[in-house]
Structure 1
Amino acid sequence: MPTPPVPPRVHRPTDRTRAHAEGISDWQLRHREVVRTSRDTYLLRAHAGELRGRLDAVLLGAPSSAVVSHLSAAALWGFEVPLVPDDGRVHLTVPRRGRVRSRADRVVHCSRVPTPEVRQLGGVTVTSPSRTWLDLAAVVPPPALLAVTDQMLARRFPEDEFPVVLGRAVGRRGVVTARRVLPWADPLAGSPMESVLRWLLLQAGLPRPVLQHVVRDAGGRFLGRVDLAWPEQRVAVDFDGEVHRDRRVFVDDLRRQNGLVLAGWTVLRFTSADVLGRPEAVARVTRGALVPT
Structure 2
Amino acid sequence: MTHNTPLSPRPLHQPADGRRRPMTVAQLRAHGVPAAEVDEQCRPGGPWQRLLPNVVLLHPGAPTSDERLHAVLLYAARERPAGLPSVPVQPGTEGTPDPGYAEAVITGLAALTLHGFSGAPPLPSLDAFDVLVPRMRRLRSTGCARIVRTAALPAAVQVTGVPVAPVARALADAVAGLQDAGVVRLLLTEAVRGGHCEPAAVVRELNRARLLGRPHVVDAVDSLVAEGRAIAEQRLYRMVREHGLPDPVWNVDLRLPGGPHLGGLDAYWPEQAVALELDTRAHRQDDDALWSEYARKREHLERLGITVVHVTPRKLRESPAHQAAVVRTALTTAEDREPAACVVVLPR
Q: TM-score, normalised by structure 1?
A: 0.50
Specify the code of the residue in structure 1 equivalent to 2:28.
A
Q: 1:29 aligns with which of 24, 35, 42?
A: 42
Q: 1-side partners of 2:71 and 2:144: how far apart?
A: 9
Q: 1-side partners of 2:212 and 2:72: how far apart?
A: 29
Q: What displacement does 1:20 show?
A: 4.0
Structure 1 residues 53 and 183, CA, compared in 2 at 3 Å: closer, same or farther?
same
Structure 1 residues 144 and 106, CA, compared in 2 at 3 Å: closer, same or farther?
same
Structure 1 residues 16 and 114, CA, compared in 2 at 3 Å: closer, same or farther?
closer
Unaligned stretches of 5+ in structure 2? 1-17, 79-101, 228-348
Specify the code of the residue in structure 2 equivalent to 1:57.
A
Asked if structure 2 preserves the Cα contact closer than 8 Å seen for 1:134 and 1:178, the reply is: no
> What is the match of residue 157 of structure 1?
196
Q: How does 1:112-191 map to 2 (within 5 A)?
A: 112-113=151-152, 115=154, 118-141=156-179, 142-158=181-197, 161-167=198-204, 169-170=206-207, 172-176=209-213, 177-184=216-223
> What is the match of residue 104 of structure 1?
143
Unaligned stretches of 5+ in structure 1? 1-8, 188-293
- Give secondary structure in 2 for the equivalent of 1:48: coil
Structure 1 residues 122 and 144, CA, compared in 2 at 3 Å: closer, same or farther?
same
Specify the code of the residue in structure 1 equivalent to 2:68.
R
Q: Does 1:39 align with 2:78?
A: no
> What is the match of residue 232 of structure 2?
none
Specify the code of the residue in structure 2 equivalent to 1:134.
A
- Give secondary structure in 2 for the equivalent of 1:175: coil
Structure 1 residues 60 and 114, CA, compared in 2 at 3 Å: closer, same or farther?
closer
Q: What displacement does 1:181 show?
A: 0.7
> What is the match of residue 265 of structure 2?
none
Q: Does 1:74 align with 2:112?
A: yes
Specify the code of the residue in structure 1 equivalent to 2:163.
T
- Give secondary structure in 2 for the equivalent of 1:170: helix
Which whole-Å deviations, capped at 9, do the CAs of 1:177-212 have from their partners, x for residues lacking one? 43321333598xxxxxxxxxxxxxxxxxxxxxxxxx
Q: Does 1:19 align with 2:56?
A: no
Structure 1 residues 35 and 164, CA, compared in 2 at 3 Å: closer, same or farther?
same
Asked if structure 2 preserves the Cα contact closer than 8 Å seen for 1:72 and 1:90, the reply is: yes
Q: 2-side partners of 1:91 and 1:20: how far apart?
A: 28
Which whole-Å deviations, capped at 9, do the CAs of 1:50-109 have from their partners, x for residues lacking one? 1x2112122224222222111221221132336x99453221111213312212231111
**Between Structure 1 and Structure 2, how many residues are aligned?**
176
Q: 1:59 aligns with which of 47, 61, 73?
A: 73
Q: 1-side partners of 2:103 and 2:129: how far apart?
A: 15
Q: 2-side partners of 1:135 and 1:18: how far apart?
A: 31
Give the root-mean-square deviation of aligned CA atoms: 3.4
- Give secondary structure in 2 for the equivalent of 1:103: coil
- Give secondary structure in 2 for the equivalent of 1:94: strand
Asked if structure 2 preserves the Cα contact closer than 8 Å seen for 1:138 and 1:173, the reply is: no
Q: What displacement does 1:49 show?
A: 3.0
Q: 1-side partners of 2:195 and 2:208: how far apart?
A: 27
Q: 2-side partners of 1:183 and 1:97: how far apart?
A: 35
Asked if structure 2 preserves the Cα contact closer than 8 Å seen for 1:47 and 1:54, the reply is: no
Q: 1-side partners of 2:159 and 2:19: how far apart?
A: 25
Between structures 1 and 2, the one with greater helix share: 1
Structure with higher Rg: it is: 2
Asked if structure 2 preserves the Cα contact closer than 8 Å seen for 1:81 and 1:145, the reply is: no
Q: What displacement does 1:48 show?
A: 1.4
> What is the match of residue 307 of structure 2?
none
Q: 2-side partners of 1:33 and 1:74: how far apart?
A: 33
Q: Does 1:91 align with 2:133?
A: no
Asked if structure 1 preserves the Cα contact closer than 8 Å seen for 2:103 and 2:153, the reply is: no
